[in-house]
Amino acid sequence: MQKLILATRSSPLALWQANDVTRMLENAGFTTELKAIETIGDKKLNVTLSKIGDKGVFTKELEQMLIDGEAHLAVHSAKDMPSSLPDNLEIVAFTEREVPCDVLVSHKADFKLENRPVVIGTSSTRRIATLKRYFPEVQTVPVRGNLQTRIRKMEEGQCDALLLAYAGVHRMGYSNLIREQLDLSVFTPAVGQGSLAIEVSSELPNELKTRIRSCLEHLPTAICLEAERAFLRKMDGGCSVPVFGFARFENEKLIMSGGIVSLDGLEEVRKEFTISNPDRITAKQAGTDLANQILSSNGNSILQKIKQALHS
């Protein structure tokens, strides 16, 4: 067939990720071309994501390229994907997950979270709320932009450290700046963190979808993300709501932890499930069931307060 055109954001990390997908496709015999653009989330760096528009701030323009036939597939960070997609689009593959945890990155070799006073740079409501709950003495400042921009702002003195996903730091070659790898049981990551989502038009021929899936999808990761995304969909949590969810395999069992924390960190509901020998369908159902348990255990009250605060 004609070459596959991949749509991607133009940030250094997004291009690294798209080139990694390109490598896998070309190893499978495809010819590829990248089309890189800036999304609204890349352009508006002086406001929080919640003020731009909660869903699809890093994906909407790429999705329009799929709808318009300008690209065959779009490469996204899975954590940027809204939990519900337009009817004419679908995720055809999830790539193998990188280490999923959050990390503290600092230009100060002796940095530790337990030091006081400490100023942490992050614009994530989940990370800010988690810090307020478990490390209330820590100050936070909003820092947006690509990783290189954030590191520059840190070095200029805006903060002592950055709270980031390990995956992006590692992929960009800044692992030497990691000072702490944070506990997954406390800093449970955003849904999808560490994996890439490959999105296509539903009108793409089924044979082509199957070929793309066969060379990009990592099935254990895909099953985990089906559970996580079903959980997020039921929780109705966008990037401005501090909802967290992480699924993993242990001895053929799927273990998922998920929850919600209030914006001030004072309230949290966290629960976990385990199922044996899961497939996509049972994983989705388990994610939905976990969300229902959380919502019925004061989670819905926390969620409504958050939504009210964000829209006030």
- Residue pLDDT, tens place only, 132-175: 999 999 999 999 889 999 999 999 999 999 999 999 999 999 99
- Residue 180 Cα distances to 72, 132, 161, 168, angstroms: 39, 18, 10, 15
The catalytic position among 9, 42, 101, 127 is: 127
Q: Which of 97, 150, 209, 229 does the annotation list as catalytic?
A: 150
pLDDT level of residue 31 (50, 70, 90 thresholds): very high
Which tens digits make up the pLDDT trace of 180-234? 999 999 999 999 999 999 999 999 999 999 999 999 999 999 999 999 999 999 9
Average pLDDT over residues 71-81: 95
101 included as an active-site residue: no
Residues of the chain with CATH 3.40.190.10: 1-96+195-217, 102-181
* Per-residue confidence (pLDDT) for residue 274, from 0 to 100: 96
Active site residue 236: no
97 is catalytic: no
Assigned CATH for 102-181: 3.40.190.10
Work out the widest C-alpha separation in the chain, in whole angstroms: 60
Task: Delimit the CATH 3.30.160.40 region(s) of the chain.
Answer: 219-312
Check residue 144 and give its pLDDT: 84
The fold of the 1-96+195-217 domain, in CATH, is D-Maltodextrin-Binding Protein; domain 2 (3.40.190)
Tell me the three state secondary structure of residue 113. Answer: coil
Whether residue 80 lies in the annotated active site? yes
Asked if 126 is an active-site residue, the reply is yes
Q: How many CB atoms lie within 10 A of CB 38?
A: 12
Residues 6 or more apart whose CB falls under 8 angstroms from that of 17 comprise 8, 75, 77, 171, 196
Q: What is the CATH number of domain 219-312?
A: 3.30.160.40
> Which pLDDT score, from 0 to 100, does residue 41 have?
61
**At residue 54, does pLDDT exceed 60?**
no
Alpha helices in the chain (DSSP H): 12-27, 40-43, 49-52, 60-67, 125-134, 147-155, 166-171, 206-216, 219-235, 280-294, 300-310
Mean pLDDT, the chain, integer: 92
Query: What does the block give as tokens for 138?
Result: 């820590």
How confident is the model over 33-43, as pLDDT tens digits?
999 998 766 55
**Percent of the chain beyond pLDDT 70?**
94
Residue 224 annotated to the active site: no
Q: Say which amino acid occupies 149.
A: T
Query: Is residue 213 among the annotated active site residues?
Result: no
